[in-house]
Amino acid sequence: MKFLIINGPNLNMLGIREPDIYGAQDFQALQRFIYDCCLEEGIEPVLFQSNHEGAIVDRIQAAYGEADGIVINPAAYTHTSVAILDALKAVAIPAVEVHLSNVSERESFRQISYPGMACIKAFVGLGFEGYRQAILYLKDWLQKEK
């Protein structure tokens, strides 16, 4: 089983960026955490981070026929990107949304998730652990599908 794990804009600034909200651990630690979670579950991880909406759309399209599942934290594009929503719908690869912070308790502009409309589940406010939950959920969901 192969999962594409996508992290959106400014997540490469983890550890520096608003540590009171996003924690003190850096992006490399997050990548390692995700990588290890996948290996523990026997999943082949493909990690991708970009600050650019079009690059994220291109990567989702390239996953067609390649990835069995997508775990995505679209970061700020969560609240604006119909293009990422459409890309997820286009490839129809089962996807799970993750947010480090609890977006549901933050500003009103964070209350909408466009990519989330193409996701089977969301994990929010669990920090790094949300990615593990997403990986486990997606693996379980795909196994039940078969």
Residue ranges binding ligand DQA (CB under 6 A): 10, 73, 75-76, 78, 99-101, 103, 110
Q: Is 22 assigned a catalytic role?
A: yes
- Among residues 127 and 142, whose Cβ is nearest to ligand DQA? 127
Q: Of the two residues 54 and 64, which places its CB atom closer to ligand DQA in the complex?
A: 54
* b (16+ CB within 10 A) / e for 16-45: eeeeeebbebebeebbebbeebbeebebeb
Query: What's the closest the beta carbon of residue 75 comes to ligand DQA, in angstroms?
Result: 3
The residue among 43 and 98 lying less far from ligand DQA, judged by its C-beta, is 98
CB of 11 to ligand DQA, least distance (A): 6
Residue 73 near residue 7, CB atoms below 8 Å:
yes
Give CA–CA dist 112/103, Å, rounded.
9
What is the phi/psi pair of residue 84, to 5°? -70, -40
> Which entry of 99, 114, 131, 137 is annotated as an active-site residue?
99
- Least distance CB 137 / ligand DQA (angstroms): 17
CB of 144 to ligand DQA, least distance (A): 27
CA distance 146 to 132: 22
d(Cα 1, Cα 45) in Å, to the nearest integer?
9
Residue 99 bears catalytic tag: yes
Complex with ligand DQA: residue 71 or 103, whichever CB lies closer: 103
Q: Could you give the residue numbers annotated as active site?
A: 22, 99
